[in-house]
Amino acid sequence: MKTQIERAKLLESLHIKGDPLILYNIWDPGSALAMQQIGAKIIATGSWSVAAAYGFGDGENIPLELVIENLKRIVASVDLPVTIDLEGGYAEEIQLSSNKT
- SS3 string, the chain, reads CCCHHHHHHHHHHCCECCECCCCEEECCHHHHHHHHHCCCCCEEECHHHHHHHCCCCCCCCCCHHHHHHHHHHHHHHCCCCEECCCCCCCCCCCCCCCCCC
Q: 72-97: per-residue pLDDT in tens? A: 999 999 999 999 988 777 766 766 66
Q: Looking at the domain assignment, is residue 59 inside a domain? A: yes
Q: 13-31: per-residue pLDDT in tens? A: 887 899 888 888 999 999 9
pTM equals 0.77
Q: Which domain holds residue 18?
A: 4-83
Q: Looking at the domain assignment, is residue 56 inside a domain? A: yes
Q: Looking at the domain assignment, is residue 23 inside a domain? A: yes
Q: How many structural domains comprise the chain?
A: 1
Q: Looking at the domain assignment, is residue 93 inside a domain? A: no
Q: Looking at the domain assignment, is residue 95 inside a domain? A: no
Q: Looking at the domain assignment, is residue 60 inside a domain? A: yes
Highest mean pLDDT, choosing among 11-15, 51-55, 58-62 = 51-55
